[in-house]
Amino acid sequence: MQRDWDLIRQILLATEATETNLKVGFEAIDDCTEEAFRYNTALLSEAGLVHAMILPRIQTTVVDSLTWKGHEFLDGIRNEMTWANIKIVANEKSIALSFASIKAIEQHLFNAKFD
């Protein structure tokens, strides 16, 4: 299975929008399969962006909350226009999306606003 950056963004946004005592499951994301949610949530957890409960034996995955790093990353991609522009720049420059490239492109776009 491949990493899905749009789904990752949706998971982060849904987690941030959820009340503290609630958890985010795959049902919170439109047009998301449970398998894709589990896989991308595991990646987010490994990257230290979310606190998640991943129980492979019973095929259950829920996101508890964002980490500080998760909030910081989401701040850079929250805006729809910014996210669309990041993907456009990456595509035009033939750059694969990664945490580093997303942050670099977002920083470039941010700096361009003030030039």
Comparing C-alpha atoms, which of 41, 42, 43, 38 is closest to residue 58?
38
Asked if the model's pLDDT at residue 34 lies above 70, the reply is yes
Comparing C-alpha atoms, which of 70, 59, 81, 56 is closest to residue 15?
70
Distance from C-alpha of 114 to C-alpha of 90, rounded to nearest angstrom:
21
Q: What is the pTM of this model?
A: 0.88
Comparing C-alpha atoms, which of 49, 97, 89, 90 is closest to residue 73?
49
Residue 55 banded pLDDT, cuts 50, 70, 90: confident
Comparing C-alpha atoms, which of 66, 51, 62, 54 is closest to residue 17?
66
Distance from C-alpha of 110 to C-alpha of 106, rounded to nearest angstrom:
6
Distance from C-alpha of 102 to C-alpha of 65, rounded to nearest angstrom:
22
Asked if the model's pLDDT at residue 57 lies above 80, the reply is no
Residue 105 one-letter amino acid: I
Ramachandran class of 43: left when φ > 0, alpha when ψ lies in -120 to 50, beta otherwise: alpha
Q: What is the pLDDT of residue 21?
A: 66
Q: What average pLDDT score do residues 16-34 get? A: 82
